[in-house]
A and B are shown apart, each in its own frame.
Chain A
Amino acid sequence: MDSHYADVPENQSALAPVDLKPEQLSLQDPRAVLSLLEADQVVAAKRRTHFGRKNLSIATKALLWGLRVYVVAMVVIVLISVYQAFHAAH
């Protein structure tokens, strides 16, 4: 569970950007925090928004499946080579 940093009145609506000058900034003020972060960088914003699913073309699916088969085949070959190496060593 997140612990929220500051309690803000529910009726607070308009937000003025904080003047980000040295010696004046206080990160106790959540407006200052929001002034320093991008809109999509705040944890709550990231949690609630998502890049949607991409429609994969046939070619992309074929590429991903081809690479998947490649990895599985190669893992089998690695196991064979390790078995051979141990067999030769002992």
Chain B
Amino acid sequence: MDAPDKNPSLLAGQTAHPTTESAVASAAAPELIGLVTHEDVDRARDRWEVARARWTGRSKKFGGIRLLWLLVGPGVLVFLGENDAPSMLSYSADGSRYGVGFFIPFVVLTFIMGFIVQEMTVRLGAVTHRGHAELIFDRFGTFWGFFAMGDLIFGNFLTLVTEFIGVRAGLGFFGVRPSIAVGGALVIVVAAITTGRYWTWERITLSLAIFNGLFIPAAILARPDWHAVGHAMLTWMPFPGGSRYEILLLILATIGATVTPWMLFFQQSAVVDKGMQPRDINAGRFDTLLGALLASVFAIAAILATVPLFHHGINAADFQAAQFAEALEPLIGHAGAALFALGIFEAGIVAAIAISTSSAYAFGEVMQTGHSLNRPLREASPFYLTLFGSACAAAALVLIPRFPLEFVVLTVNVIAVLAMPPALAFLLLLVNDPEVMGEHVNGFWANVAGVTVTVLLIIAGLGFGLATVFPKWLGG
């Protein structure tokens, strides 16, 4: 190796590799000490709190709870973020069109699939300290990187539009004008990102996300038949009747309500921004499991809240958010309908924050500009402008008169499922790459689960494609 005076940077051009070596003990420490940024300091502050919780946790009876409180975040956010406006509408369509039956255990299955996939992003982020987009560009080059980004940005933008549709429709139930509803939502998105601190942003968004639970009281007011729910969970019956094409479409939309590309990019980047390390992987798994559990309960609540529409034979085939709430009002009361509408509004807001952040993380990683919520605006203006710009553009589209909102809502979850297999292929290749993952490379059963999810998604997509091209095949 050259002497330090001939090689001004020990790091430049070096190949990264998985390591748990402390920065202060590394060979590059003398160089790094003069390059510490505010982002590093904020991240170190979070790590300090985690280290203290670990020490005190050993001596206190419930000390581990504080540690989990500090490390929980990306997993809960990603799953409650994915319980977004179009997802809750998909669950509502399941409940209103087919009642209690197949779709309740099926929703649980989709969240298990979601957990399998998202757990891999926790490991990738904690081990490499790099976002998903950055790793794809690093390992597969710009050609495949731009393909992956194309899918992500296109899907993210469409989904973002549907979130503002949800905001507009949810508040529309209370008579709020669309411009005020959408403008107010934008203010909340901006308020969340201007904290200049990942931790604060995460806690604000989590506190908003927990209101996804509004669907639970709405479901209770709908007086579900718990015996039928238990029977459905055990038997997956009754299986929906009617047009097989419509059932397949709803199955696809329900999968798309749980497993989507933006979730991969978001959770991995959030794990990195949070500063998680390999020793935090188990906590990250718990976080992801907790998120999947909460989101599946809230999703089932959305199904149960709309089952009265099924029992009263109300055709909800083309319902949007406000129409669901309005149709539910005479059946479950004003309070239940209002909770439902507020739940859709909340789902839209939280997802708008998470999805616009996902786009901004990916953009920053690819452009190699600052991409952390720990950075002040002046140090990461492209990151914040992408975040704010994508939210503004989506919000503006929703306010255009005669914009085909129905078209976007109809297609967004289906497109999410269809774009998922390539995203999963990149994920599986990365998480099986020993040069990237070191000892945290995927095990046999994780691969079986990951490949199974990928194959199921491809089969679902192909079934949809065949049924569209040959509609008589499924009676469409």
**How long is the Cα–Cα vector from A5 to B8 in the complex, in angstroms?**
20
B18's closest neighbor in chain A, by CB? A40
Interchain nearest-CB distance for A80 vs B (Å): 6
Please state if B429 and A60 are interface contacts (CB–CB under 8 Å). yes
Is A15 part of the binding interface, using a Cβ–Cβ cutoff of 8 Å? yes
When the two chains form the complex, which single residue of B15, B17, B29, B468 contacts A34, counting CB atoms closer than 8 Å?
Answer: B29
Please state if A53 and B144 are interface contacts (CB–CB under 8 Å). no
Is A1 part of the binding interface, using a Cβ–Cβ cutoff of 8 Å? yes
Q: A34-B33, A68-B147, A74-B461 are in contact. Are A50 and B16 (CB under 8 A)?
A: yes
Interface size range on B against A? 35 or more
When the two chains form the complex, which single residue of B31, B47, B372, B465 contacts A73, counting CB atoms closer than 8 Å?
Answer: B465
Is B400 part of the binding interface, using a Cβ–Cβ cutoff of 8 Å? no
Is B168 part of the binding interface, using a Cβ–Cβ cutoff of 8 Å? no
Please state if B368 and A38 are interface contacts (CB–CB under 8 Å). no
Please state if B40 and A42 are interface contacts (CB–CB under 8 Å). yes
**How long is the Cα–Cα vector from A38 to B9 in the complex, in angstroms?**
18
Is B335 part of the binding interface, using a Cβ–Cβ cutoff of 8 Å? no
A79's closest neighbor in chain B, by CB? B411
**How long is the Cα–Cα vector from A73 to B421 in the complex, in angstroms?**
13
| B83-91, B132-140, B289-297, B387-395: which lies at the interface | B132-140
Query: With a CB–CB cut-off of 8 A, which chain B residues contact A84?
Result: 468
**How long is the Cα–Cα vector from A6 to B246 in the complex, in angstroms?**
62
Please state if A35 and B414 are interface contacts (CB–CB under 8 Å). no
Please state if A50 and B138 are interface contacts (CB–CB under 8 Å). yes
**How long is the Cα–Cα vector from A46 to B418 in the complex, in angstroms?**
33
Query: With a CB–CB cut-off of 8 A, which chain B residues contact A49?
Result: 11, 13-16
* Contact mask for chain A residues 49-90; partner B; CB cutoff 8 A; 1 contact, 0 none: 111111010001001100110110111011011101110010
When the two chains form the complex, which single residue of A7, A10, A40, A52 contacts B138, counting CB atoms closer than 8 Å?
Answer: A52
A44's closest neighbor in chain B, by CB? B35
Query: With a CB–CB cut-off of 8 A, which chain A residues contact B16?
Result: 40, 46, 49-51
Query: With a CB–CB cut-off of 8 A, which chain B residues contact A42?
Result: 23, 32, 35-36, 40
The secondary-structure label for the interface of chain B is helix
Query: With a CB–CB cut-off of 8 A, which chain B residues contact A12?
Result: 30, 33-34
Please state if A33 and B40 are interface contacts (CB–CB under 8 Å). yes
* Contact mask for chain B residues 12-48; partner A; CB cutoff 8 A; 1 contact, 0 none: 1111111111111110111111111111110111011
Query: With a CB–CB cut-off of 8 A, which chain A residues contact B26?
Result: 39, 45
Please state if A1 and B368 are interface contacts (CB–CB under 8 Å). no
Interchain nearest-CB distance for A72 vs B (Å): 10
The secondary-structure label for the interface of chain A is helix
Please state if A4 and B141 are interface contacts (CB–CB under 8 Å). no
Query: With a CB–CB cut-off of 8 A, which chain A residues contact B140?
Result: 53-54, 56, 64
A13's closest neighbor in chain B, by CB? B30
Q: A20-B51, A49-B11, A53-B138 are in contact. Are A4 and B35 (CB under 8 A)?
A: yes
**How long is the Cα–Cα vector from A52 to B24 in the complex, in angstroms?**
24
Is B284 part of the binding interface, using a Cβ–Cβ cutoff of 8 Å? no
A10's closest neighbor in chain B, by CB? B34
Please state if B23 and A35 are interface contacts (CB–CB under 8 Å). yes
Interchain nearest-CB distance for A24 vs B (Å): 11
When the two chains form the complex, which single residue of A4, A38, A63, A80 contacts B37, counting CB atoms closer than 8 Å?
Answer: A4
Please state if A8 and B34 are interface contacts (CB–CB under 8 Å). yes
Minimum-distance CB pairs A-B, first 9: A44-B35, A39-B26, A48-B11, A34-B24, A34-B23, A74-B418, A67-B422, A36-B44, A49-B16
Identify the A interface with B (CB < 8 A). 1-8, 10, 12-15, 17-18, 20, 22, 25, 27, 30-54, 56, 60, 63-64, 67-68, 70-71, 73-75, 77-78, 80-82, 84-86, 89
Q: A34-B22, A40-B129, A41-B43 are in contact. List 19 more A-B contacts (CB 8 A).
A: A2-B39, A5-B40, A5-B41, A14-B30, A40-B16, A40-B17, A44-B32, A44-B35, A45-B11, A46-B129, A47-B368, A48-B11, A48-B14, A50-B16, A51-B130, A54-B429, A74-B418, A74-B461, A82-B411
Chosen A-B contacts, 12 in total, with CB atoms closer than 8 Å, are A2-B379, A5-B36, A8-B34, A18-B24, A20-B48, A40-B17, A45-B28, A53-B138, A71-B419, A74-B461, A78-B468, A85-B410
